[in-house]
Amino acid sequence: MLDLSDPQTALLLSVLRNAAALSRAVRAETKPAGLTKGDLSPVTVGDFAIQAMVARRLHDAFPAIPLVGEEDSVDLRTDNGAAVLEAVTWHVSRFEADATPEAVCRWIEMGGSDTGDRFWTLDPIDGTKGFLRGGQYVVALALVENGVAVLGGLACPGLDPDGTPGAGAVVLARRGEGAWSAPLDNPGAAWQRLGVSACTNPAQARMMRSFEAGHTNPGQIDDIARAMGITAEPVPMDSQAKYAALAAGCAEIQLRLLSPTRLDYKEKIWDHAAGALVLEEAGGRVTDLYGAPLDFTRGRMLTANTGLLATNGAVHDAALAAVRQVLEKV
């Protein structure tokens, strides 16, 4: 069992529970439309508010450990961002009594640190489009040391601890100590250890699919499924919630191929650090499409990697072979 009295683990758990509560409040009480970033992905009040709150708490507890976060406050400081900043500040003030617009911007900017030997990395709302439409999303936070995620967690407001859609779960993992889940809203509930599916037959594997087709290459994923002989219906899910579901044995394969419109795309470290650790500690395996481990030493993006393959481990080599077969035809 994880040592929940460890200061970093205790802070991680507290931050994830509070961030999930903040995200739910935003979705329930605010029209969660925000600005639009240069990459055209929506940015919500929740993204900014969670990063501000989490950054402030991490800095207060561990000021020597920098934070690499997804958001920045540049657009919030413009006239067009004034209304969003007001809403962000109001939501943050419910958790941080001294929140002001200037303080909120300053806290968000704490996430602009560069990577190094030791840092936190945060995705305040992973699966923003799922969040906007009422689907799956997570808050993802991980501690990376010397290029390896050593502690991480996912707050999953739309999953149960067994990885199926439900009332909310929090999932924690520490390198070498397993992956564990518990109800999000019941701090006194027992934790259960997660373990991947025991499926060893590639043809019987279940593949997780994103709702957002623009994030990957659906046609090639279909080709890979055929090459593996997979006949099971795919399991649709947004965000790093897929890692939690894989870790709980609800499916066997997750793929992230390059979209035909974004062939130079590189994954962001905050999109995978926490989720990959959870899956690996549950017995799974995570690599890029060519079998290389994820490299968190290259800055804010996984520039040394191409795409993603995450599995229960037992079908990983078969999946890599199918990926190679399909990609070689391009």
Cα–Cα distance, 68 to 227 (Å, whole number): 38
Place of tokens 């399909």: 326
Domains in the chain: boundaries: 7-193, 202-327
CB neighbours of residue 141 within 10 Å? 28
Chain segment 127-168, per-residue pLDDT in tens: 988 898 889 999 999 999 999 999 999 999 999 999 999 999
For the chain, give the mean pLDDT. 94
Note the helical H segments in 62-174.
82-93, 101-109, 128-133
Residue type, 82: A
Spot the catalytic one: 47, 223, 238, 271.
Answer: 47
- What's the CATH number of domain 7-193, 3.30.540.10, 3.90.1200.10, 3.40.50.300, 1.20.1250.20? 3.30.540.10
Q: Please enumerate in sequence order all residues whose Cβ is within 8 A of that of 219, keeping only pairs 6 or more positions apart, or say none.
A: none
Chain segment 9-41, per-residue pLDDT in tens: 999 999 999 999 999 999 988 776 677 766 656
Taking the mean position of all CA atoms in its chain, how far away is CA 41? 15
For the chain, which ranges sit under pLDDT 70?
32-33, 37-41, 213-215, 330
Active site residue 128: yes
Q: Please give the model's pTM, rounded to 2 decimal places.
A: 0.96
* Fold (topology level) of 202-327: D-Maltodextrin-Binding Protein; domain 2 (3.40.190)
Spot the catalytic one: 121, 128, 216, 287.
Answer: 128
